[in-house]
Structures are given as C-alpha cells and as structure tokens.
Amino acid sequence: MPLHVKYFTSDSVAQQASDYTATYGKLSFAAGETSKTITIPIVDDGYQESSEAFKINLKSADVGVLGAQNTATVTITDNDAAGSKANEGVQAATNPIDATPFFVGQQFYDFLNRVPTLAEVTNSATPITQCGSDQTCIRTQRINVSNTFFNDPAFQGNGYFVYRLYKTLLGRQPNYAEFVLDRSTLIGSADLETSKANLVNAFIVRAILMDPSLNNLTAEQFVDKLNTNVGGVVTSTQRTALVNALHGKYGTLASTLRSVADNQTLVANESNAANVLMLYFGYLRHDADSLYASRLQMLNQGGTLLSLVDAFVNSTEYRARFGAQAAPSPTIQFNSASYSAGEGAGSTTVTVTRSGETSSAATVRYATSDGTAKEGKDYTAAYGVLSLATGETSKTFTVLIIDNGYVAGTRTVNLTLSNPTGATLSAQSTAALNITENDTLTTNPVDQARFFVQQHYYDFLGRYPDQGGWDFWTNEIASCGTNQSCIDLKRINVSAAYFLSIEFQQTGYLVERIYKTAYGNGSGASTFGGTHQFAVPIVRFNEFLPDTQQIGSGVVVGATGWETVLENNKQAFTNDCVQRSRFTTAFPTTMSPAQFVDKLNTNAGNVLLSSERAAAIALFGSATDTSNTSARAQALRQVSENATLNSQEFNRALVLMQFFGYLRRDPNSGQDTDYTGFDFWLTKLNQFNGNFVNAEMVKAFITSTEYRQRFGAN
C-alpha cells in the first residue's frame, strides 16, 4: 500500500523569504519506492554573511512510519564578496534584486514555489531586457512581469481558494503561515479538483477539532453560519438547496463549505481584500500590517492592482529581503523641464511624477505664474493639489491656453511644485510652459461667439468647456444672425448665466461667502457720492482663484457623479480652510462652541435663526472647546451656505465677480486706485433691484476697453 509523509521547512539562523523559500508538501511512496526528493529554492541575497542554516522536517501522514532521523539541517554557504569589512551582515555593493535574472527567478520562488529553468527566466525577462538602460521602461516592465506571476493561477487562483475557505468557515482571513501551508497542498497538483476536495475535508476536520460545537449544528444552523461569515451572499433559493442536501444525506459539511466558498458573489465581493492580503504574502512573506486598510481602500475606490504591485516591488521592505540597499526615498518632480503648447490648443497637460518608494500616499501643490505670458491674456492660472495614492507614480494637471489675437511670439508660463507630503521635491520642481504663436494678423477673437463662450468657461468655471454646453451657449448668440442688438443682449445674458450657474454658485460664490463668514468684511475707500469708507468683500483675487479651483476640481454639472465630486471637494476645502493659520488665529481652539458659532454668525451678518445656531453649536457635542477640526469645518460650512446669507451677499458678489472674472484683478487694483468703481456699480445694481441688464453692468464690463484688450488690441 502507498505510504505518505509530510515535509516542511523552518527557520534556524537562515530566515525564510530572505535566505530561502519556505517549502511545504507531501511525499507519496508507491509500492516498492524507497526514496523521494524535495526541492528548496535558495535566495542568493546581497548580504555578506557567515554560513546560515535552516531545518527540513518530516511529519507522519500515516501512523507509525517515521524513523528517528525526521529532521535535517540545510546549511547555506555565502557567496557574496566582502565589503570594507569581513564581518557577517556587511552589505554587498549592490542589491541583487536589481539584476533582471535574479528578479525574475525570485518571482518563480515567491509565487510558483519552484526553481525555474534557464529558458523560463530568459523568456520572462525579455520585456525588461528590451528596455535597455531606460529606467522608466525597466520599472514599468518589472511591475508588469511581477504582476503576471501574482495573477498566475498557481498563486492567485489557488491562494484565493484558500482565502475563501477561511472566510467561509471561520469568518476571518488566513494568516501567512496558514496560507502557505494550505496552499502548498494545491501547488503542482496533477488533479487539482481532487486536491481541493482533500483540502476542504482536512480543513473541516481541523475546524471541528478546534471548535467541536460545529459538529453539533443542525443543517440550517451550519448553512446560516457560513452565510453570516461571508456577508449573506447565499440567496434563499441556494440556502434551501444546501439545507435539503444536508438533510438528504447526499450533501456533506465539506460539499456545503465548498459550495458557499465558490459562490460567485463572494468571489467578486472579496476579490480586493484577498488581493491586498496576498500582496503581503507574496512579496513581504508576512501577515498584513497597519497599511492594509488604506491599501484596500485605494482598490475599493478605483485604484489599480498594478499600482499596488509597484508599491510592493519598489518598497524598502521588499528590497531588504535581498540586500541592505533600500529603495530610494520618494521624490516628486515634473517629468520635463519644459513643455510646449500651441496657442490654439485650448489647453495642455502637465505631468508630475513620483520616483523611489511608493508604498504610501503623497501629495504636492502646483501653481502657475507669469513669465513672459500673462494670466488672463495668454493663459488661465492653474492651482491645486495632486494626490498620489499608494503605488501611483504620476499625476497630471491642465493649464488652459487663451488663443488671443496678439502677435507676440512664444511666451512662457512658470510652473512650480511646493508643499509636498510623503515625499520631497527633486531639483526639477520648477518648469516652463512655452506657448507658441499662431497669429499673423492682429484681430480680437472676443467678438466671435465661440471664443466668447469658451473664455467664460475659463474665467468663471476654471475649466475647458464640455462640448454640449459650449455648443448650446454659442448657438444662443449665433442664433441672432446679424442682428446686432440681439447679439448684444444675448452676450449679456450668456455672460451672466455663468455667474448664475449652479456650478459657479456652488464653487466661486461659495468661496466668497466662506471668506465673509470666516473673516467678516473688508473696508474700502470710495469717492462716489463723496469720500467715504464702506464695507467691501474681504476675499482677494489671489485667494479666490486657487480656492475656487480647489472646490471646483473635476466638477462638471450634469456629468455622472458630479454631486459626489462637489460634496467631497467642499468637505476637503472647509477642512483645509479651518486649519490655515489665518483661521486658527481668528478662531483659537480655546473658544467655546457658542463663541465660535456666534463669531461666524456675526461675520456673516447675523443670519442664523436660533434653531440654526443651536444646530451649529451641537456639532461639537459636549465639548467645551472647539478643537474638533471636523466640527469647525461643518459649522463654517453651515453658516456659509445659509440661505439668508446667500440672498444678502448676492449683489456684492455679483459686482465683485465683474472684476475677478472679466478684469482678472481686485476692484482697487490696476486702473482703479480705490473702490469707487465697485461702489458705483453696487449702488446702481441695488437701485435696479439686482437687474444686471437694466443696470447695464454686465454690458459695461464685457464691452470695456480693459476687458477687450485682454484678447486683442481693438
């Protein structure tokens, strides 16, 4: 009769993953056979060390078959050249994981648990070696090659099956040791289905030995327990069939477990969680750590598995398995020192890259500034924060280009990165955008309906036009034909529509109200009707522009999911706002909730009803101070979005946006030395009860010489 014996390796001085690959399995001796062999992959690491040993152990699978010599020692002799010292642990000059053959061979060890042939290494290495010395290509192809091994059925398929068994029967994930041991029974199996059936049977027995009460459950209780463990994926019809099978004795505990573990809803639901866990098992050879949750969240929110593979393969921890040379510290930079865009392109994309360690998230701010190109005339200022999730190595942002009517040659825009978190800036943290000329004759494109509409997207919404909106508003003006009075009125109404749009009201106008709520009014001098001081909006153009872009980032009203994007942006912005030094100085955390809310309300013009005031104070719960950042942000937002404030501030904001949107400046800058112009138009708009057409305000700004000369000389 055949005889079976199990084998497994265990650490001594040598450590699994760093010095050798943990190996488990079962040897089956047929009648007459007297010997079998075991292959254990050895890791040729980059450390200079003394000889190290690990153990290979035998464990009887059949009663009474082991002899006295059931353990043995395997000694690994070092082959690394000495460094400056000849002591154990001295680092070799390089990390062998950077060598392509070693890297590929290690993928076979880690994911397929076997030693590859030379031909297999050569074939798998080809995409990497074809990159030559192109480091970007090499990194990309190493990730792709490694991802292929991770997704190999011998690791991914069998490993995920083991994962689901633990989830289904025990309601938890396997730990690393359990995963390696149980998966080893499936590796290289000539009859995988039989091996899976044997594993399920053994798994049931082990579980009952640990928890005998499992054997006393009724059919209904057993099925319901499994279903609870997997989040209720078993339908009522499936439950009935499983229970009936157990009652009818043609179903077993093992077959029931297998049916639930292979449930396709469970397979889909647990895919991300299993993938992240198996990244730890495959690359780092240990249980998940504190970063597991954030990495899983990244996948659940649409991140790619390939990005996570990148993060693990290029992590210091993975590299430290093979040599002391850590992954380079993360740096963020532009991918080029200069970019070029034609004036007629409308927009251009700038790429920011992250190199080195990518195992955690990072952020960086970007901004444009005038070189020889002028904001509002040659381009629209771009500000924002790029967030790189775990494993992400690049992000992009857009700079809007204005196709003006000047013949001015190539002009440059300065691009700057600043305030990184989770990384440092490299030397290439500045770059230049060159806008190349496309005009030969000086004309003013603002008279063209399509350009006029496009520029309103730039000036008020800070984005490139969506095609539907662009066509609609252009046609509003073009429908007048050659009727100039019709064209003039349509241009006024189209222009005002951008201020009145949901998109601007929920972004730019909200920013104006947030500043008023946080900091009250400014004071401006005017000579209109006699020299005097009066209350003016406190937000300045250089504050308004980046903050509006932050709230409006990615928002296109009418596009799928725009409400969610806007809500997330509002939450992020107000959380950021209340942590700025200007705000914390004005509202120290030692203020009581009532003091905090009352000051916001006073700044906003006492707009809160008593019930609204109480609701804002209640955000802080029973706290006696206002150190809760989230509550501070929510209170600021509640007051800023108050309907009474929205109504009371409307005319002031409308006049302010004539200066910000059309003239790209503050009301008391440029050709205006004080707020007289602002005072004049606010008074007139109020006289006409907010009717901007009758007040002729919008008309005055869009036909002004200052506005027109942004785009052409006439």
The first and second tokens of residue 647, run together, are 């109504």
Fold agreement between 1-93 and 331-442:
yes
Q: What is the pLDDT of residue 344?
A: 93
The 3-state secondary structure of 609-655, one letter per residue: CHHHHHHHHHCCCCCCCCCCHHHHHHHHHHHHCCHHHHHHHHHHHHH
Residues 6 or more apart whose CB falls under 8 angstroms from that of 7 comprise 23, 24, 25, 26, 27, 38, 56, 57, 58, 59
pLDDT of residue 440: 74
Q: Where are the beta strands (DSSP E) in 213-303?
A: none
Q: What is the pLDDT of residue 84?
A: 27
Place of tokens 């912005």: 573
DSSP label at residue 584:
H
Tokens in use for 173?
């994930």
The answer to whether 452 and 477 are in contact (CB under 8 A) is yes
Kindly report the CATH number that applies to the domain delimited by 331-442. Answer: 2.60.40.2030
Answer for the pair 54, 11: CB distance below 8 angstroms, yes or no.
yes
Q: Which helix (H) or strand (E) holds 333?
A: strand 331-334
* Cα torsion angle, 542, 547, 548, 549, sign: positive
State the pLDDT at residue 251. Answer: 65
- C-alpha dist (Å) from residue 14 to 71, 76, 78, 83: 16, 8, 11, 21
Residue 114 has phi, psi (to 5 degrees) of -155, 160
Q: Reduced to 3 states, what is the DSSP secondary structure of residue 704? A: coil
Cα 595 from chain centre: 37
CATH topology of domain 1-93: Immunoglobulin-like (2.60.40)
Sheet holding 52-60, edge to edge: 24-29, 3-11, 52-60, 71-76
- Report the alpha-carbon distance of residue 18 to residue 54 in Å, rounded: 12
Q: Which residues pair with 76 in a beta bridge?
A: 52
**Within a 13 Å sphere around the CA of 8, how many CA atoms are in the beta-carbon half?**
14
Q: Where are the domains of the chain?
A: 1-93, 156-320, 331-442, 447-502, 505-708
N-terminal to C-terminal alpha carbon distance within the chain: 102
Q: Return the structure tokens found at 536.
A: 């003016």
pLDDT of 17 reads 65
Residue 382, H or E segment: none
Nearest-CA neighbor of 548 among 488, 607, 507, 487? 507
DSSP string, 82-132: P-SS-STTEEPSS-GGGSHHHHHHHHIIIII-SPPPHHHHHHHHHHHHTTT
Q: Which two structure tokens, joined as six digits, stand for 525?
A: 């001098």
Question: Residues 6 or more apart from 595 whose CB is under 8 A from it?
Answer: 626
140 Cβ neighbours under 8 A, 6+ residues apart: none
Q: Quick one: which H or E segment has residue 8?
A: strand 3-11
Q: 219: which residues sit within 8 A by CB, 6+ positions away?
A: 242, 243, 246, 247
State if pTM tops 0.75.
no
| Count of C-beta atoms within a 10 Å radius of residue 42 | 14
* CA torsion angle 338 342 346 348 (round to 10): -20
Q: What is the pLDDT of residues 680-705, one digit of tens each?
A: 999 999 999 999 999 999 999 999 99
| Mean pLDDT per 10-residue section of the chain, whose length is 714 residues | 76 76 76 81 68 81 69 78 34 71 90 88 93 88 91 86 94 92 84 90 88 88 94 94 83 88 94 93 92 89 86 88 76 93 95 87 95 96 92 92 93 96 92 91 88 97 95 96 95 94 96 98 96 97 96 94 96 96 97 98 97 97 96 98 97 97 96 97 96 94 96 86
* Of 255, 357, 263, residue with least CA distance to 311: 357
Q: Cα Rg for the chain, rounded, in angstroms?
A: 34
Question: For the segment 485-517, what is each residue's pLDDT rounded down to a tens digit?
Answer: 999 999 999 999 999 999 999 999 999 999 999
CB-count burial class (<10 Å; 0-12, 13-18, 19+) for 440: exposed
CB 573 within 8 A of CB 548: no
